[in-house]
Amino acid sequence: MASNLDMARAQWRKSSYSGSSGGECVEVADLGTPGVGVRDSKKPEAGVLTVSPEAYAAFVTHFAVK
């Protein structure tokens, strides 16, 4: 699990599928050793789901538009 310091340094990116209307938005960040962080951009204080880079790649590949 990443520390608060790791989260403070994280560079969060909003999903390209998130619209500009402020609806459901997901942000991701490369957290280094712990993996990839995923959070709700509307409630970043609610917590971060951390997954391995391999798990994140599998998730993105599964839902990619073909």
Q: Which domain holds residue 32?
A: 4-15+24-63
Q: Name the token pair of 18.
A: 């998130």
Which DSSP helix (H) or strand (E) runs through 37? Answer: strand 36-40
Contacts of 25 (CB under 8 A, 6+ apart): 14, 15, 18, 40, 41, 42
Mean pLDDT within 53-65 = 87
Q: What is the pLDDT of residues 24-38, one digit of tens each?
A: 788 999 998 889 999
- DSSP type of residue 31: -
- pLDDT, mean of residues 28-55: 91
Q: How many distinct structural domains can be found in the chain?
A: 1
pLDDT at 56: 92
On the question of pLDDT at 13 being above 70, the answer is: yes
**Confidence check: pLDDT of 65 > 70:** no
Residue carrying structure tokens 């209307």: 21
Report the percentage of the chain scoring pLDDT > 70.
76
